[in-house]
Structure 1
Amino acid sequence: MSTPRRVLCLCGSLRQVSSNRAALEAAQRLAPASLELAMYDGLAALPLFNPDNEVDPLPSAVLALREAVGRADALLVACPEYAHGVPGPFKNLLDWLVGSLEFPGKPVLLLNASARGSYHAQEALAEILRTMSAELLTTQPMPVALPGAGCSAGQVLASAERCAELRVALDCLVAELA
C-alpha cells in the first residue's frame, strides 16, 4: 500500500464557527485513503508581515507555516470574501510564503464555500497565487455551496449535495497527486 499524499488545508477565516473551516473539516472526513488532509491552525499566530523581519531566525510561527507547506504535496484552500477581497490575515499568511522556497510550484486547489457564489476574493486570491508561482489545479474554485457563517462540518456532511461537491474536489486532488 502506498503512502497517502499529504494535503495541507488552509482556512482563510479566523471565525470560531466558519463555513470555510467546516468545508475543510468535512473534506478531511470524506478524504479517500490515498489522501491525508491536515488542517493548518496557525493563522492567528502569524506576526504581521514585514520584509525587515524575513531574516534568520524567522519568527517561530512563520517557520511552522513554511515547514507545514514544505511537507505538503498540495494545498486545499477555503477562503471567505470580506468587502470583495481576501481577508487581511490570510493575505498576511500568503505574504510570509512569498519569499519561501517551499511554496513555488506547489499544487493548490481552491474551494468556494459561498452559496451566493462570491467571486471577487476568489479572483483576487487566484491572481495572488499565480503571482506566487502556485500551480492552480483548476481555472475556477471548486464550488461547495454552504449557507454561510455558522455551519459546522456535521451540517456539511449531512447534505448529500455538499458531500458530492467535496468529493469532486477531492477527486481532483487524487488525480493531480497520483
Structure 2
Amino acid sequence: MNILAISGSLRVGSTNTSLLRAAAELAPSTVKITLYDGLDNIPPFSPERDQRNSSESVAKLRSQLRETDAVLFCTPEYIHGIPGTLKNMLDWLASSGEFVDKPVGIISSGTSDMGGSRAHAVLSYTLEILTAKLPTGASLIVPFIRTKLDADGHITDPVLRQQLRDVVEALDQAVRQNRTVTL
C-alpha cells in the first residue's frame, strides 16, 4: 500500500514534517509512505490557470495523488486555520477529483494544549467537501509537540509513537476495505 504524506509546513525543521517521517519509519513493511516535497512549487490558484492546465507542479501532484492508495496530512495551525500554501494546494484539487473516496488521515500538531485543533477541523471540513474518506482512527491532534520530539525531530514519546502507528493502521484498513468493496 502506498501513502502520500503531505506536510502543511514549509519550515526546514518542521515538527509536522518530522511526524510524517516518523510515521513512515513506524509503518509496517507492507506500507510505503512517501513524503510530498512540492508544496512550495504550487503556483497561486486561479480557475483560468486550471483551465489552461499550465502548471507542471500541479500536474505532477495530481498524478501522485491518483497513483497513491491513501493520503496522510500533517499540518500546523496558522491564525486558527491551515497554512495558506496548503489551502492553495487544495484549491487546485477541488475540480479534478483526486480525493473522491480516497482514504485520508489528518494529523495536526502545535505547541499549545490545543495541538492545532482548529487547523485540524478546517482541514477535515475541506477534505469532506472534496469527498475524501476520513476513516475512524486516522485522525490525531498532538498538543505540546515540542515536548515529544528531540532536537533532531525524533519522537521521544512512546504514546505518540503508538498513536502514529494507529493512524497508519487505520488508513491501511480503509484502503483494504475500499479494495474489497470495488472488487
TM superposition score category, shorter chain reference: 0.7 to 0.9
* Residue in 2 that maps onto 1:147: 146
Q: Percent identity?
A: 33
Note the aligned Cα RMSD (angstroms).
Answer: 2.0
Q: How does 1:33-44 map to 2 (within 5 A)?
A: 33-44=29-40
Q: Deviations over 1:78-111 (max 9, x none)?
A: 0110010111000001001111132222111101
* Greater relative CO, 1 or 2 (CA 8 Å, sep 6+): 1
Inter-partner Cα distance in structure 1 for 2:137 and 2:119: 14
Letter in 2 for 1:8: L
Whether the 8 Å contact between 1:144 and 1:166 is mirrored in structure 2 is no
* Residue in 1 that maps onto 2:15: 19
User: Which ranges of 4 or more aligned residues in structure 1 deviate by more than 3 Å?
Assistant: 150-154
Worse-matched range after superposition: 164-173 or 6-15? 164-173
Worse-matched range after superposition: 22-31 or 161-170? 161-170
Letter in 1 for 2:154: Q
The two structures have a TM-score, normalised by structure 1, of 0.88
* Residue in 2 that maps onto 1:96: 92
Q: How does 1:57-136 map to 2 (within 5 A)?
A: 57-114=53-110, 116=113, 117-136=115-134
Deviation of the 1:167 alpha carbon: 1.1
Q: Deviations over 1:42-97 (max 9, x none)?
A: 00000000001012443000001101111110100001100101110000010011
Cα gap change, 1:106/1:140 in structure 2, threshold over 3 Å: closer, same or farther? closer
Structure 2 unpaired stretches of 5+: 177-183
* Residue in 2 that maps onto 1:137: 135
Deviation of the 1:168 alpha carbon: 1.3
Cα gap change, 1:139/1:166 in structure 2, threshold over 3 Å: closer, same or farther? closer
- 1:6 corresponds, among 2, 24, 29, to 2
Letter in 1 for 2:98: E
Worse-matched range after superposition: 113-122 or 67-76? 113-122
Whether the 8 Å contact between 1:23 and 1:153 is mirrored in structure 2 is no
Q: How many residues align?
A: 172
